[in-house]
Amino acid sequence: MINTHVDLNIVDGDFVFNPSLSVEKLSAAKVIGQDVKHRILESGLLVKLVKQRNRNGIAPVLTDLELEVEQDDRLKPGTILITYNSDNTLSIEAETKQYGLMKWAGA
């Protein structure tokens, strides 16, 4: 199978370098995961979670985030689940069209 998904590895807004000081590359499902993370960060929806203290206020924001993530055409529609964890992080589960079920924790 030809790997059509390749990207540079970015962590905390900066490139990640390997020991030979070349920028690390991501491939396959890791590219989709990084793109989902950036889509969420750039959506501006996380700001709404900061002020929420109860589940009734958090649930609509998670739905909005799921709808935002669902716009990625590499994911199967209706399979995105975003969970707000007790440590104030997000866990994301989605079915990709090419790589199957993917889970990202601590986003």
- Give the tens place of pLDDT for each residue, 48-94: 888 777 888 899 999 999 999 999 999 999 999 999 888 888 999 99
- As for how many domains the chain has, the answer is 1
Distance in angstroms between the alpha carbons of the first and the last residue of the chain: 29
Percent of all residues in the chain with a pLDDT value above 90, rounded to a whole number: 42
pTM for the complete prediction?
0.80
Residue 24 lies in a domain: no
Residues with Cβ < 8 Å from 6, sequence gap 6 or more? 25, 26, 27, 31
Q: Identify which of 13, 19, 5 has the alpha carbon closest to the alpha carbon of residue 74.
A: 5
Q: Which residue is associated with the tokens 């009734």?
A: 56
Q: Confirm whether 51 is domain-assigned.
A: yes
Domain that holds residue 56: 29-104
Domain-located, residue 18: no
Question: Residue 66 and residue 27: Cα distance in Å, rounded?
Answer: 23
The answer to whether residue 104 scores a pLDDT higher than 90 is: no
Q: Is residue 15 part of a domain?
A: no
Residue 9 domain flag: no
